[in-house]
Amino acid sequence: MKLLSEKQSQIVELLKRHSKLSVDDIVEAVGDAKTAVRRQLLLLERRGLLQREYRAAERGRPSLVFTLTADSKQLFPSKEVELLSELMGFLVRDGHEELLERFFDRYWQKRLDQVVKEIKSRGRSDLDTRLEVLKEMLEREGFVPTVRFEKKGRELLLRECHCPIEAAVRTSKLPCQLERRLIAKVLNAPIDSISMRADPSNGCEFRLPVQASKARARRSD
């Protein structure tokens, strides 16, 4: 996300501290003209960082106030990733790795159930359909997946360009291994046929052999 201007940062900080503020409240706090404040509020609203609401008044029409959106959280420091990493490390060192395995097993099983249900709803179970549904699920989860057929359509490369569970993967490779199992089940492939390269900074890559087709051969290298 592009950096905020000094005035925009000031407005965001004010809303973080006070939750809801009217235009007049913000004008008084920042000391700018109302037209200038309104322009900054509009820019922040367009970027999805704040939203307008109407507050009921004792008399007359409801007054307009602004609040921060959920997307604004990314502008403030967070210890969630660091804390999660420390928690997982503690569980592993304390001999409770089985708890982590159960948690991530349920995590991926829930998503597998969703994928299977969606495949059934489409009335087709060919490789392209399964791959399409798998990719859609990974997109929803924030993995930013890309799919490419290589070796004249005989090999599938599934690459995840982002790892939304990076803190977990840095502590244990278990999430990636369980994901490989999910991919094997969705694509009807032996798990041993899927090679995996995990990089917490850049996501994961999964390669597996597939049956070649003319269409895929045209899409491959």
Does 99 lie in the same domain as 192? yes
pLDDT of the residue at 213? 66
Domain count, the chain: 2
Dump pLDDT digits (tens) for 103-146.
Answer: 999 999 999 999 999 999 999 999 999 999 999 999 999 999 99
Q: What is the mean pLDDT of residues 160-179?
A: 86
Q: Which domain holds residue 147?
A: 80-219
Task: Tell me whether residue 1 is in a domain.
Answer: no
Does 86 lie in the same domain as 58? no
Confidence band, pLDDT 50/70/90 cuts, at residue 171: confident
CATH code of the domain in which 156 resides: 3.30.1380
Where on the phi/psi map is residue 203: left (φ > 0), alpha (ψ -120 to 50), or beta? left
pLDDT: is 59 or 25 the higher one? 25
Of 53, 75, 97, the residue at which a domain comes to its end is: 75
Does 40 lie in the same domain as 139? no
Does 128 lie in the same domain as 67? no
Does 57 lie in the same domain as 114? no
Does 200 lie in the same domain as 148? yes
Does 109 lie in the same domain as 17? no
Confidence band, pLDDT 50/70/90 cuts, at residue 1: very low
CA distances from 189 to 66, 74, 121, 185, 209 (A): 52, 38, 21, 7, 8
pLDDT of 215 > 60? The answer is no
Does 105 lie in the same domain as 61? no
Does 169 lie in the same domain as 87? yes
- Per cent of the chain over pLDDT 90 is 57
